[in-house]
């Protein structure tokens, strides 16, 4: 049961939206983390396997570069590239999954203010819209191509070009995130959802840009802080191993350490994708209320009934 429900359907300025985001984050971190772990469990094994392939391939390639040692080169290079390809594919799949879980969680949260969303209800909304999600991702990739072209053209302009690139990138991210939330919340088709997202973005363009900019920057800082702990531990291990004369490229234990470290990094990156989508789902409800005044009308009707 929820102790304090945050009403997402309210008119808010930029500062209030960011404040609501972190209140939502603190309140829902544990239940959403449970959802994330349950539906990413299979991919944890995938991350471990891919990390092992990349680490083994890189270490083997590194050893083959020693003088008079050419026995590992081709095989380890293939292993490294295979691991990298697997990483890209797994990153895309987990990105789509966690993007969907975050949007679905926010929608279930707003639909049922009396209780926190259950894992089953979150997944039920995702599984119900699998076809639409797949089509949405395909269209998003196709739409991203002209965005890249425009960004490259804009980047030619000195000074202003770099700022323009950031605005285009953040605007596209906000449009896709808000459109995705509209598709799941209103049950719209993909094209209708993109149109709805476009109209909502037009209602609060700079609010959407700045909210994504601030949250992206703060999440990046948070990710760096979280990575400091394992980074320091691994750094200390590497330092004392080298001081004691241990060859890290030949140590099985070192391979395990690097594999686990890379797996943790990939999992944190996947989780960060979900946290990034939360802001666009919150923005969706904010802009939706500004355009349609749905919650405000309900409150006025309730006041009229009570009188």
CB atoms within 10 A of CB 295: 17
The DSSP annotation for 145-166 comes to: HHHHHHHHHHHTSTTHHHHHHH
Category of 247 on φ-ψ map: left (φ > 0), alpha (ψ -120 to 50) or beta: beta
pLDDT digits (tens, 9 = 90+) for 86-138: 888 888 888 899 999 999 999 999 998 888 899 999 999 999 999 999 999 99
- Comparing C-alpha atoms, which of 145, 136, 156, 278 is closest to residue 215? 278
Sketch the domain layout of the chain as residue ranges: 14-306
Q: What is the pLDDT of residue 246?
A: 62
- What count of residues does the chain have? 307
Q: What is the pLDDT of residue 120?
A: 93
Q: What is the pLDDT of residue 249?
A: 60
DSSP H/E element including 242? helix 205-243
CA distances from 307 to 101, 119, 222, 228, 303 (A): 41, 40, 48, 58, 6
DSSP H/E element including 49? helix 14-64
Separation of alpha carbons 137 and 100, rounded Å: 11
- Comparing C-alpha atoms, which of 67, 126, 137 is closest to residue 101? 126
Helix or strand or coil: residue 116? coil
Mean pLDDT of 281-294: 92
Separation of alpha carbons 17 and 13, rounded Å: 6
Higher pLDDT, 20 or 239: 20
Q: Does residue 3 have a pLDDT over 70?
A: no
Average pLDDT along the chain: 85
Q: Write out the two tokens for 71.
A: 């026995």
Mean pLDDT of 36-44: 87
CA distances from 220 to 77, 96, 265, 280 (A): 31, 20, 13, 16
């Amino acid at each position: 049961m929820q102790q304090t429900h945050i009403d997402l359907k309210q008119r808010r300025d930029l500062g209030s939206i960011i404040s609501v985001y972190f209140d939502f984050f603190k309140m829902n971190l544990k239940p959403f983390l449970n959802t994330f772990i349950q539906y990413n469990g299979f991919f944890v094994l995938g991350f471990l396997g891919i990390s092992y392939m990349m680490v083994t391939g890189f270490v083997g390639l590194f050893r083959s570069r020693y003088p008079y040692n050419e026995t590992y080169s081709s095989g380890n290079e293939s292993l490294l590239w295979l691991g990298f390809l697997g990483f890209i594919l797994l990153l895309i799949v987990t990105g789509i999954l966690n993007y969907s879980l975050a949007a679905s969680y926010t929608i279930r949260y707003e639909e049922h203010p009396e209780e926190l969303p259950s894992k089953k209800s979150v997944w039920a909304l995702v599984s119900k819209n699998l076809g639409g999600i797949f089509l949405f991702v395909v269209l998003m990739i196709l739409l991203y191509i002209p965005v890249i072209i425009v960004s490259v053209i804009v980047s030619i302009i000195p000074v202003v070009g770099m700022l323009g690139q950031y605005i285009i990138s953040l605007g596209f991210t906000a449009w896709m995130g808000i459109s995705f939330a509209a598709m799941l919340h209103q049950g719209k088709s993909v094209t209708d959802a993109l149109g709805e997202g476009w109209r909502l973005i037009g209602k609060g363009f700079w609010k959407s840009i700045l909210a994504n900019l601030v949250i992206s920057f703060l999440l990046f800082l948070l990710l760096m802080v979280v990575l400091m702990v394992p980074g320091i531990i691994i750094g200390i291990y590497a330092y004392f191993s080298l001081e004691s004369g241990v060859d890290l490229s030949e140590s099985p234990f070192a391979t395990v350490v690097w594999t686990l470290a890379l797996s943790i990094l990939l999992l944190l990156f996947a989780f960060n994708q979900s946290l990034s989508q939360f802001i666009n789902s919150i923005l969706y409800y904010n802009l939706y209320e500004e355009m349609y005044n749905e919650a405000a009308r309900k409150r006025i009707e309730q006041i009229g009934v009570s009188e």
